Each structure stands twice: as structure tokens, then as C-alpha cells.
Amino acid sequence: MLRFPRIATLVLAGMAATPALAADGPFFSLKNTDFVVLLGLIVFIGILIYFKVPGLVMGMLDQRADGIRSELDEARALREEAQSLLASYERKHREVQEQADRIVAAAKEEAQIAADQARADLEVSLVRRIAAAEDQITNAQSAAIKEVQDQSVTIAIAAARAVIADKMTAAEANSLIDASIQDVEAKLH
């Protein structure tokens, strides 16, 4: 044990101390208080050594050092675990951010496609409405032309009736009626 020579050196140094030499009378006498104190100290140190107190104290200090070392190791392990968790969360955050960016890009692309489709549908709808309007205009023109023709025919018939009534005699009217009846009979048979 290396501790014992240190203690012995301390004891010898204590014995050679100047105050011990300053006492009255012989040093190695029980009447000398310094010698009695020195003997008490040596006995006390002897008892401590006999009961292995320095070893126990050193063992407790070693245990405390081991405990502190294990706590430091545990703290280091916790720190490394925390760093790995932080790295994992940062990696997951990047992955989630990339996924969100992809979703946003896909949504923009879908919105652009939907806008293009809506534009195309609007153009088709406008073409259909223009075609329907043109058909309505054509039908209205045809109806107007037919109505004008019908009125023209009605007016022409009325005018012809008036002219014929003024210029035709009863005999001529009867001969026209007979000719029309024969014409109808020929067409029906």
C-alpha cells in the first residue's frame, strides 16, 4: 500500500515540527502535552489504519469516482441518443418538407390542368352557343322569309281576286270552275 508511507512521512514531519521542539522539558515525556498530543495522533492514525479506514475512504472515493464516471458515460450515451434522435427528426422533417413540396407541385399542376380544361370547355361551350345562336338566326331568317312569302301570296291572291272579280264575267267564272274540276279529276285518277 502506497498510502501508508505517505502517512508515516506526515507523522514524522509532525514530530519534527518546530512547536514540538519549543515545549519545556524533555519531548518524550508524558508531562509534555505536545508529546501526548503526538501519541494520541499516532494512536488515532494507527486505529484508522488498523480498521482500514484509509482503504475504505479510498474505496468510497473510488466508488464515487466510478459513479461519476458511469453518470458521465450515461450522460454521454444520452447525448448521443439525443443527437441521433435530432438527426432522425431533421431527416424526417426534410422528407416531410420534400413530400409537401411534391404535393404542392402536384396541386399546382392539377390546378393548371383543371384551368386548361375549363378554358377548353369554355371554348367548346362558346362554339356551341355561337352555333346555336347562328341556327336560331338562320331559323328566324327562314321563318321571316316564309312569313313574308306567305303574306306576299295572300296579298297576291287578294289582288288577283280583286282584279279577276272586276274583269271576269259570270260565264268566264263558270268555265274556269269547270276547267278546275276536270283538272282535279284528271290528277286524282
Per-residue pLDDT of the chain (189 residues; tens, 9 = 90+): 445 566 666 666 656 555 545 556 677 788 888 889 999 999 999 999 999 888 888 999 999 999 999 999 999 999 999 999 999 999 999 999 999 999 999 999 999 999 999 999 999 999 999 999 999 999 999 988 988 888 888 888 888 777 777 777 777 778 878 888 888 888 877
Running DSSP on this structure, what letter comes out for residue 31?
T
- Interatomic CA distance for residues 71 and 77, integer angstroms: 10
- Interatomic CA distance for residues 189 and 63, integer angstroms: 139
Full-model pTM: 0.39
Residues in the chain: 189
User: What is the maximum span of the chain, computed from C-alpha positions, in angstroms?
Assistant: 197
Residues 6+ apart with CB under 8 A from 31: 25
- Interatomic CA distance for residues 49 and 3, integer angstroms: 10
- Interatomic CA distance for residues 31 and 39, integer angstroms: 12
Report the run of H or E that residue 81 belongs to, with start and end. Answer: helix 53-167
Cell of residue 105, nine digits: 407541385
